[in-house]
Amino acid sequence: MRTLIDLGPRVVRRDEIAARVWPGGAPAGRPVDARLGRLRARIEPLGLRIHAIRERGLLLAVADPEPVSARPRFAPVVFAD
């Protein structure tokens, strides 16, 4: 998380994240991806999201509170008596 904050707002390659989290060398396999699920679950209630950008890396972003399709097209007008 700290790496995404420090290097953002941009797409951060997984190898960049691994190099900063494990300076002596990352564990075998896909260590960054293995931890993503837990990290996503922890930050979602804070209004943050991690997007995987195919063949580029990860991007930390502020989550949209509601989809565009759910938003009213016009602001409601309230008339007072």
CA–CA separation, 64 and 33 (whole Å): 23
Contact 31, 13 (CB under 8 A): no
CA–CA separation, 58 and 10 (whole Å): 8
Residue 32 CA to its chain's centroid (Å) = 13
CA–CA separation, 51 and 60 (whole Å): 6
Domains parsed from the chain with CATH numbers? 2-64 (1.10.10.10)
Over the chain (81 residues), the average pLDDT of each successive run of 10 is 72 84 78 83 85 86 66 58 56
Amino acid residing at 54: R
Per-residue pLDDT, 13: 87
In which element (H, E) is residue 53 found? Answer: strand 48-53
Per-residue pLDDT, 1: 63
